[in-house]
Amino acid sequence: MAYEAVAKLLEAQLANESLKNRETIGEAFRLALASCPAANPSDLWHHVVYRLYFEILPKYRPLNPGQSWVRASGDALEIALERIYTPVLKPHKIGIKALIGRDQKSEALSHMGIEDEVGDSKLDVILYLTDQIGAKSVFGGVHVKASLAERVSDDVPCSRAMQKRGLFSPLFTLDVKSFPPPHGDLVNRGELGTPAAPSEKRRYIENHGDFDNCYSGNFRSQPSNGNTLSGKEIILAKIAEQPDDFVKEIIARGAAARAKLSK
C-alpha cells in the first residue's frame, strides 16, 4: 500500500507541469518516510523513490531519467530535510533552510564571512536563530549528500573554514550504495566501512574531523564506537522518529550560539 501511495504521488505530481522535479522527489521521499516509519530511510530513497521515478518520469516528461535524477535529487533531499526538521526546530526558535541556487548559497557564505575562501557553491543547508537579526544569527550549515560518491571531499574546505569560526558544520548523508547482480546483491550497505575497517570517507570524520559528525540515514551504516581520533563520530539519524540525534545536536548548538550572543 505504501509503495502504491508513493507511485500515485509521483504520477500526480509529474503530470503537473507547474511542479519542479526536485519538489516531486522530495515529497515522494517524505511520503515514503511517513508511510513506513520503521523502514531504512536510505532504502526508501534508493529502492522506492529512485526506482519509481525512473519508471514514471518518461510517461510525463521528455527527459532522460538518469540525467534528471542527477540534476534534481540533490536539491530534493535538501528540501525534504528542511520540511522534516522545520516543525521540530521551530519551537526552539531555530530555522533550517535548503540553499537552492548560487545566489542563496553565496548569501549564506557571506553571512559566515567565508565566501571569499570557499566560493559560492559549497554549502547545502543553513542553520540560524529565528529570534536574532543579521549575520550573527547564522550558527551553522549542513553538507548534504545522498551518496558519499558525490565527492564529499569537495565540501571539506568549506567545513574546515566554518569550524574555524566556531560554526556547526555536520555532514548528513543517506550513505546510498548497492551493487546489482551479477556482481552484487542490491543490498544498500553504504560506503562508510566499519570502525575496524574504515573507508577513506569514514576517516574524513573519525580521523581528520573534517565535519562536526556525520549523521547517516542508512541504518546499515556502522556508527562510531567512541574514542575516535578527532572526537567526531558517525551517528545514525532516525529521520522518521523525531527528535532524532541529528536534531538534538542542532538544538544544543543553537542554544550555545544564543547564549554566546547574549553575553
- For 66-79, the pLDDT digits (tens) are 999 999 999 999 99
Bond preceding residue 243 cis, omega within 30 of 0: yes
Residues 102 and 153 both lie in one domain: yes
**Residue 147 and residue 80: Cα distance in Å, rounded?**
15
Q: What local confidence, expressed as pLDDT, does residue 182 receive?
A: 86
Domain boundary residue among 72, 106, 127? 72
Residues 229 and 105 both lie in one domain: yes
**Residue 141 and residue 253: Cα distance in Å, rounded?**
11
Q: Classify 141 as helix, strand or coil.
A: strand
Which range of residues forms the domain containing residue 190?
A: 85-262
- 78 in any annotated domain: no
Residues 89 and 191 both lie in one domain: yes
Q: Would you say residue 64 has pLDDT above 80?
A: yes
| pTM for the whole structure | 0.95
**Residue 77 and residue 98: Cα distance in Å, rounded?**
9
Mind giving me the DSSP string for 193-229?
B-SSSB-HHHHHHHTT--SS-EEE--TTS----S--S
Residues 125 and 252 both lie in one domain: yes
Residues 167 and 199 both lie in one domain: yes
Residue type, 148: L
Contacts of residue 120, defined as CB under 8 A and 6 or more positions apart, other chains included, come to 102, 105, 106, 109
Domain boundary residue among 72, 106, 129? 72
- 55 in any annotated domain: yes
- For 223-239, the pLDDT digits (tens) are 999 889 999 999 999 99
How many domains does the structure of the chain reveal? 2
Contacts of residue 79, defined as CB under 8 A and 6 or more positions apart, other chains included, come to 22, 23, 26, 98, 100
Residues 210 and 90 both lie in one domain: yes
- 207 in any annotated domain: yes
Residues 56 and 180 both lie in one domain: no
Residues 98 and 201 both lie in one domain: yes
- 80 in any annotated domain: no
Residues 38 and 139 both lie in one domain: no
Share of the chain above pLDDT 70, in %: 98
Q: What local confidence, expressed as pLDDT, does residue 38 receive?
A: 95
Domain boundary residue among 72, 97, 117? 72
Q: Would you say residue 194 has pLDDT above 80?
A: yes
- 54 in any annotated domain: yes
